[in-house]
């Protein structure tokens, strides 16, 4: 799931007619990106509620005979999130240092995530109807967002995408270290593409870990689309996008198996998934070329801001609610009611946790980064230190003020 910064979506690096960006020039808010995020989030939610059997106690295909045929492709919302993430991360990292980039990502990702882990854990501890939390220590490790790297189960299965995002951030931080420029971004796209192609053919755990071959085409294409928007389309960028499009189509079958299971994949036609990927790339191309700049509906930024917390809280808590009330409420009203409740909770998380805690965390991390840059903590962070007697002739250091 993409957690691209909201502030980044509102800046495009302003392109004059010659295609060369002017530093600091404001561009129109890309509300269309918010719209894509909303569609992607709702499609994932639709997939979990109408395509998975675990909450209903019987095949979801029997519960939703018509809707199920569409819901089985909702997992593709994750791929679309990755496309948007590549675009937004490249945009928001422009002109930033590694420290600034790390602060931006941490303050954007963690506040809503911490709230989601606590909320979902409380739901699963009190109503272990769909699944159980193995131990409290698993919850603690989940708060780090690194559980997939140390073999600890996710509190919510939807969190797997966050670890993929973290890999992308680590890799793109290398570009930020060298400076986010057109040349460095193109070289990064080429190097990561090569890694994704080579990784399945060699016995290298480290290469496979960072190559994330099934996801990298979307991130890379998103970066290329942003370069088109910031500068101008050219043959090299279209070639980058074209290669990623073909690689994304290649991975569809494997992603269907991982999302639906092998037997269900054999019964499910693959062509709608291929078409959805075509539409996703087409929408991002339209944004890159400015064709959707006129989309400026005021409600889209607010809806887009809710997509990240909605993605984080909707799955296991929502499935638990469906399982708990399935005997009392008809399937369609129940699914709609749970969806409405999850959207409302996501809005509360955004307003009461994500925004205030995000600002607090960002300010605190910035001070820490400044201390690292200066080579020593500022006096306010030292606290009250006891005065130390100085040796004769030694330089006297004044006590730090609290």
pLDDT at residue 372, as a whole number: 85
* Mean per-residue pLDDT of the chain: 88
Does a structural domain hold residue 234? yes
Give residue 7's pLDDT.
40
Instruction: Tell me the per-residue pLDDT of 78-96, one tens digit each, with 9 for 90 and over.
Output: 999 999 999 999 999 999 9
Other Cβ atoms closer than 10 A to 158: 21
Residue 377 corresponds to which tokens in the numbers above? 């903590």
For 127-148, give one letter per residue: b (16+ CB within 10 A) or e.
eebbbebeeeeebebbeebebb
Running DSSP on this structure, what letter comes out for residue 263? H
In the prediction, which pLDDT does 26 show?
Answer: 41
- pLDDT at res. 1: 64
How many domains are contained in the chain? 1
- Give me the pLDDT at residue 28, please: 58
Angstrom CA distances, 26 to 11, 122, 180, 223, 393, stand at 6, 43, 18, 20, 57
What pLDDT does 71 receive?
A: 96
**Residue 397 included in any domain:** no
Whether 181 maps to a domain, the answer reads: yes
pLDDT attached to residue 227: 98
pLDDT for the residue numbered 23 = 37
CA 5 to chain centre: 10
Q: Measured in Å, how far apart are the chain's first and last C-alpha atoms?
A: 42
| CA nearest to 305, candidates 261, 274, 265, 351 | 351
Q: Give residue-wise pLDDT tens across range 163-222.
A: 999 999 999 999 999 999 999 999 999 999 999 999 988 888 889 899 999 999 999 999
Q: Of 70, 68, 32, 75, give the one whose Cα is nearest residue 51.
A: 68
How far, CA to CA in Å, does 265 sit from each of 45, 61, 255, 268? 20, 14, 10, 5
CA angle centred on 116, ends 170 and 297, rounded to 5°:
80
Residues in the chain: 402
**What's the Cα-to-Cα distance from 262 to each of 126, 247, 254, 258, rounded to whole Å?**
33, 21, 9, 8
- Residue 396 belongs to some domain of the structure: no
Rounded to whole angstroms, the Cα distance separating 367 from 111 reads: 18
Percent of the chain with pLDDT over 70: 86
Could you give the dihedral angle defined by the CA atoms of residues 1, 323, 260 and 249, in that order, rounded to the nearest 10 degrees?
Answer: -30
Does residue 15 belong to any structural domain of this protein? no
Q: Name residues whose C-beta falls within 8 Å of residue 73's C-beta, 6 or more positions apart in sequence.
A: 43, 47, 272, 273, 276
What is the residue-level pLDDT of the chain in tens, covering all 402 positions?
A: 655 544 445 444 444 444 444 433 445 568 999 999 999 999 999 999 999 988 998 999 999 999 999 999 999 999 999 999 999 999 999 999 999 999 999 999 999 999 999 999 999 999 999 999 989 999 999 999 999 999 999 999 999 999 999 999 999 999 999 999 999 999 999 999 999 999 988 888 889 899 999 999 999 999 999 999 999 999 999 999 999 999 999 999 999 999 999 999 999 999 999 999 999 999 999 999 999 999 989 999 999 999 999 999 999 999 999 999 999 999 999 999 999 999 999 999 999 999 999 999 999 999 998 888 887 766 654 445 455 544 444 433 333 333
**For residue 54, what pLDDT is reported?**
85
Residue 213: CB atoms within 10 A of its CB come to: 20
| Residue 8 tokens, joined | 């980044």
Domain that holds residue 32: 24-377
Cα 206 from Cα 79, distance rounded (Å): 23
């Amino acid at each position: 799931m993409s957690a691209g910064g909201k502030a980044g979506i509102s800046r495009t690096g302003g392109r004059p007619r010659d295609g060369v960006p002017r530093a600091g020039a404001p561009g129109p808010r890309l509300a269309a990106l918010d719209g894509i995020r909303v569609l992607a989030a709702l499609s994932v939610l639709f997939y979990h509620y109408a395509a998975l059997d675990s909450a209903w106690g019987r095949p979801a295909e029997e519960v939703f005979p018509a809707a199920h045929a569409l819901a089985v492709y909702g997992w593709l919302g994750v791929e679309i999130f990755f496309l948007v993430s590549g675009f937004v991360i490249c945009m928001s990292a422009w002109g930033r240092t590694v420290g600034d980039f790390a602060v931006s990502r941490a303050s954007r990702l963690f506040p809503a995530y911490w709230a989601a882990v606590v909320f979902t854990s409380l739901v699963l501890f009190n109503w272990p109807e769909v699944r159980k939390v193995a131990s409290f220590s698993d919850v603690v490790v989940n708060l780090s967002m690194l559980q997939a790297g140390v073999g600890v189960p996710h509190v919510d299965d939807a969190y797997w995408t966050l670890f993929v995002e973290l890999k992308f951030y680590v890799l793109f931080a290398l570009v930020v270290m060298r400076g986010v420029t057109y040349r460095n971004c193109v070289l990064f796209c080429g190097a990561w593409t090569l890694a994704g192609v080579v990784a399945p053919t060699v016995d290298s755990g480290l290469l496979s870990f960072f190559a994330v071959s099934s996801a990298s085409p979307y991130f890379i294409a998103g970066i290329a689309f942003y370069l088109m928007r910031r500068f101008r389309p050219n043959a090299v960028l279209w070639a980058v996008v074209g290669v990623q499009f073909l690689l994304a189509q290649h991975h569809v079958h494997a992603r269907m198996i991982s999302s639906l299971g092998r037997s269900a994949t054999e019964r499910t036609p693959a062509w709608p998934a291929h078409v959805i990927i075509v539409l996703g790339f087409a929408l991002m191309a339209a944004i890159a070329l400015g064709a959707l700049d006129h989309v400026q509906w005021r409600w889209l930024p607010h809806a887009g801001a809710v997509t990240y917390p909605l993605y984080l809280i909707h799955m296991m808590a929502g499935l638990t609610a469906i399982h708990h009330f399935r005997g009392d409420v008809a399937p369609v009203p129940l699914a709609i009611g749970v969806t409405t409740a999850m959207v409302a909770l996501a809005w509360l998380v955004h307003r009461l946790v994500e925004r205030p805690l995000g600002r607090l965390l960002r300010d605190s991390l910035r001070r820490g980064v400044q201390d690292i840059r200066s080579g020593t903590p500022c006096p306010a962070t030292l606290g009250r230190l006891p005065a130390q007697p100085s040796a004769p002739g030694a330089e006297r250091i004044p006590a730090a003020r609290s």
